[in-house]
Chains A and B, each alone.
Chain A
Amino acid sequence: MNKRLYLFLLAGCLLLAGGQAAAQSQSDIRINEILVINNDDYEDDYGHKPGWIELFNTSRGTVDIGGCYLSNDRNNLKKYRIPKGDVLTKIKPRQHVVLWADNMPLRGTFHVNFTLTETNVLYFTSSNGRNIVDSLHFPTGDGPFPVMDYIAGNKGHQVMEKGSIPHYPVENVSYGRLMDGETIGGNNGWAFLIKTTPSSNNVILDSEAAAQRFKEFDPVGIIMAMTAMSVVFVALILLYLIFKQIGRASVKSGRKKAARAGIVPHEDEIPGEVYAAIATAMYLYLQQGEVHDVENTILTFRNVKRQYTPWSSKIYGLRQMPLLTKTVSDNHPTKKS
């Protein structure tokens, strides 16, 4: 009964984990930037300049958005199904993909069947058509709306207001996240951006490599040595403290068990090395097989192997023995032979 219960529990856990894992990948996609009216901006393969929607894969693994849905209608989340089977729907880690909001779905996978001027909402829904992975309600109407610039780097983060727009939508001004895929700052990280950045990062990354920074601040490696050695020591000291306690508990419980079994520990017990030496000698005899056995008074262990061939097989050579039952005596159990 218990075993069955464990199996059910295990199966349940696996199902939960599996479901979670499947949902996890598509749930890493974020609506990252939109451009409602495109007049003089990014151009599609047909030479047209429609509005666009940029999606961003926030994860460190490739995510296939084939089969997911985009919609500008809360009551019809399955408005545009991103076709499956197109290799381009696989978004690489921390990369972007742009879909054209031109209401021209026959132009290919990345042309959706609505435009962004129809409503001011946008939904990205997972392939089951029910779970809204990300949604956006973008401002429209009269402003003024501030236009923001964001610079992120090792020397700090800066959000700067760079003018404003009187109303929205306005030509060639995009609405996007200040930091790709993130919700930093007010308004969940969304703002009107100083410039459009289709298929690339919204933020200007002014960062130098970590290694370069380390050399700048720590030219002879003292800070690194102190920090790293502290971490190594902390890790091993913690292990030491834990296993010191575990060892004590183990010795105590061993003594208790021995006392319960009536075993009195002897001071002149044979040390472990002696057992180790005997075991090693036996191992060498058994496993290495290089010791000779011609001398008298030397005990040799040797593996006895019976070579199997079909010619010596009893299965092939004999008939099956009849089953006999014999009672040995009244006091002994019945034996079958």
Chain B
Amino acid sequence: MNAFFSFLWDNLQQFFGYTAFANFSFGHLIMILIGLLFLFLAITKDWEPMLLVPIGFGIIIGNIPFLEGLSIGVYEEGSVMNILYQGVRLGFYPPLIFLGIGAMTDFSALISNPKLMLIGAAAQFGIFGAYGLALMFGFPANEAGAIGIIGGADGPTAIFLSGRLAPDLLGAIAVSAYSYMALVPVIQPPVMRLFTTQKERLIRMRPPRAVSQREKIIFPIIGFLLTAFLVPSGIPLLGMLFFGNLLKECGVTRRLAETARGPLIDIVTILIGLTVGASTQADKFLQFRSIQIFLLGAFSFIIATTAGVLFVKFFNLFLKEGNKINPLIGNAGVSAVPDSARVSNNVGLEYDKTNYLLMHAMGPNVAGVIGSAVAAGILLGFLS
């Protein structure tokens, strides 16, 4: 009888050793709380729920402690989570997301007023501002490049680039990029107000002209040829973005376009969000450099917004009265589509209830997507 109870006790002890309670640490608790905070913000505040719900739950999944060797964790070869994580590690999720983005993006605003493209270029200063600062913080150049791309406000691009330049920082960079994308309505308005005058905020822009289907079809073809010839290292992102847009605009591949912008992007978003979240295991994520990355991410967003707004003010010096651009759309140069354009519109409406800037802000917004993909290609070309 004694032997039976001893056997039972040993088994119970062994079982307890396998449970999360036995392997729990303070770091896991913090990460689970961060995951819960993401879920709270997404569900109650409606902040980027499509991203924060998968990432938040992924953080919780990734921080349930377990005994290694059972092929469970995201970093354990052969585990289900590890197989799903390959899309992040090898970088094939981001181009698929770009395919969907291309298939759902209407470039009409940009085509009708092509000078707005330059705002999308100016906002990329955020990337290189953060790059310089990261170098000063002591990060090696490849890691600094991966951190800088947070300023592009483009989650898939950040994942794509950090997977190649600094795989160890991928979790922190991805979570930082998506967090700040969700915080666009909080970060950008004060910067926009700071650098604009009352008179500038009331500028009314000319309504965009109607764009023919032929122009819409030509845009992705020429856009791809031009940008890819200039930055071939950006082909995976640019190719998929413009290909998706061609599917949308050519008018003969409706089913393909609908799949790309519907089920495909949804599936990839779920997988990318969940696995990026799960990759933030406490032992790998809770480090001083993660805090540095978060700080640099915020800095890059502020620089990008400032650069966009100031560039519009500078550009206005050369434009005739009636053709001037409202600097409140300068923030939309960061490629958080369509959030930053929505911020432009909302801030504009605060000062003039009838001045809708959304349509105009979509121009630099989609130009920002192209600009950040080009910038990522350049960083990859120089630093890999």
Pair B135/A221 contact, Cβ less than 8 Å: yes
Instruction: Select from chain A the residue with minimum beta-carbon distance to B223.
Output: A239
Q: In chain B between 354 and 384, which residues have their CB closer than 8 angstroms to a CB of chain A?
A: 356, 359, 367, 370-371, 374-375, 378-379, 382-384
Q: Is B263 an interface residue (CB 8 A)?
A: no
Q: In chain A between 229 and 283, which residues have their CB closer than 8 angstroms to a CB of chain B?
A: 229, 231-240, 242-244, 246-247, 250-251, 254, 271-273, 276
Pair B218/A225 contact, Cβ less than 8 Å: no
Instruction: Select from chain A the residue with minimum beta-carbon distance to B111.
Output: A243
Instruction: Select from chain A the residue with minimum beta-carbon distance to B209.
Output: A251
Pair A239/B207 contact, Cβ less than 8 Å: no
Q: Is B190 an interface residue (CB 8 A)?
A: no
Question: CA separation between A254 and B212, bound complex, in Å?
Answer: 9
Pair B227/A224 contact, Cβ less than 8 Å: no
Pair B140/A240 contact, Cβ less than 8 Å: no
Instruction: Select from chain A the residue with minimum beta-carbon distance to B148.
Output: A221
Pair A229/B121 contact, Cβ less than 8 Å: yes
Question: CA separation between A140 and B247, bound complex, in Å?
Answer: 61
Pair B128/A225 contact, Cβ less than 8 Å: yes
Q: Is A211 an interface residue (CB 8 A)?
A: yes
Pair B382/A231 contact, Cβ less than 8 Å: no
Question: CA separation between A228 and B215, bound complex, in Å?
Answer: 28
Q: Is B125 an interface residue (CB 8 A)?
A: yes
Q: Which residues of A contact B110 (CB under 8 A)?
A: 243
Whether A242 touches B226, Cβ cut-off 8 Å, given contacts A215-B135, A222-B132, A236-B117, is yes
Pair A212/B140 contact, Cβ less than 8 Å: yes
- Cβ contact of B129, chosen from A212, A225, A227, A250, cutoff 8 A: A225
Q: Is A298 an interface residue (CB 8 A)?
A: no
Whether A235 touches B111, Cβ cut-off 8 Å, given contacts A212-B141, A229-B125, A250-B215, is no
Pair A247/B378 contact, Cβ less than 8 Å: no
Q: Mark B105-120, 1 if CB is under 8 A from A, else 0.
A: 0000011101101101
Contact-residue bracket for chain B: 35 or more
Measured CB to CB, the closest approach of chain A to B55, in angstroms, equals 27
Question: CA separation between A144 and B219, bound complex, in Å?
Answer: 63
Q: Which residues of A contact B211 (CB under 8 A)?
A: 247, 250
Measured CB to CB, the closest approach of chain A to B218, in angstroms, equals 6
Q: Is B64 an interface residue (CB 8 A)?
A: no
Q: In chain B between 81 and 118, which residues have their CB closer than 8 angstroms to a CB of chain A?
A: 110-112, 114-115, 117-118
Question: CA separation between A218 and B115, bound complex, in Å?
Answer: 32
Pair B207/A272 contact, Cβ less than 8 Å: yes
Measured CB to CB, the closest approach of chain B to A231, in angstroms, equals 5
Instruction: Select from chain B the residue with minimum beta-carbon distance to A213.
Output: B141
Question: CA separation between A328 and B112, bound complex, in Å?
Answer: 54
Can you show 15 pairs from A to B with CB atoms below 8 A apart? A211-B384, A212-B140, A215-B141, A218-B141, A220-B135, A232-B371, A235-B227, A238-B226, A239-B223, A240-B114, A242-B222, A243-B219, A246-B215, A247-B114, A273-B207
The 10 closest A-B pairs by CB, nearest first: A221-B132, A225-B128, A211-B142, A211-B141, A243-B114, A215-B141, A236-B121, A236-B117, A228-B378, A214-B141
Chain B interface (Cβ < 8 Å from any Cβ of A): 110-112, 114-115, 117-118, 120-121, 124-125, 127-129, 131-132, 135-136, 140-142, 144-145, 165, 207-212, 214-215, 218-219, 222-223, 226-227, 230-231, 356, 359, 367, 370-371, 374-375, 378-379, 382-384
